[in-house]
Amino acid sequence: MLMIAKRRSNDGDKKVRKEKEGDKDRDKERERDRDRDRGRDRERERERDRDRGRDKDRERGNSHRSRTDNSRYRRNSSGGSDTGRRSHHSGDREKLGDKDKDRDKEKEKEKEKEKDRERERDKHRDKERERGRNRNHSRENNREKMDTEEPSNSKNDTNHHNSKETLSSTNDGLTTVEVFFQKDDVSSKDPKS
């Protein structure tokens, strides 16, 4: 008895699962249909925009030709339409060969300009390097001077703010300090050892 009841409940569960899976499939199909409809709507909107653009062109009197019809013009390597100057009057259109020559000339000019810019950058870099070398050289000289000089003890000097001190070392290892005092444009030497 119990086994039969269990089987029946299992069968019921399977049916419910199948129905749920069927619902999921139907939902997915509905979603795909909605996406397709949205895509169609977008395409219709683009068509309307193109038509509006053509209508505006007609109102201006520019061109009756479709904007997307670029078959008369050569396309560039990226696949887009040629962005060169176009005249709406067929008699004024330049030949493709002339356009190619002009384009090549412009490319040559651009290359020359780029080379000139590169030369200027190199000159500037060289100048900066030279300045850097000079700075580093003077810094090294200053370091060497600082290493050879010893700090002075000017505790006994009462006017040390108004004085200039110079250090000089002698052969015997003693340091001589000369202090110059400034008083009313008269300088007097006061040697200390």
pLDDT digits (tens, 9 = 90+) for 36-57: 898 889 899 988 888 888 777 7
Greater model confidence, 1 or 11 = 11
What is the Cα–Cα distance from 192 to 175, expressed in whole angstroms? Answer: 10
Neighbours of 116 (CB within 10 A): 10
So what's the pLDDT on residue 120? 93
| Residue 171: band (very low, low, confident or very high) from pLDDT cuts 50, 70, 90 | low
So what's the pLDDT on residue 193? 47
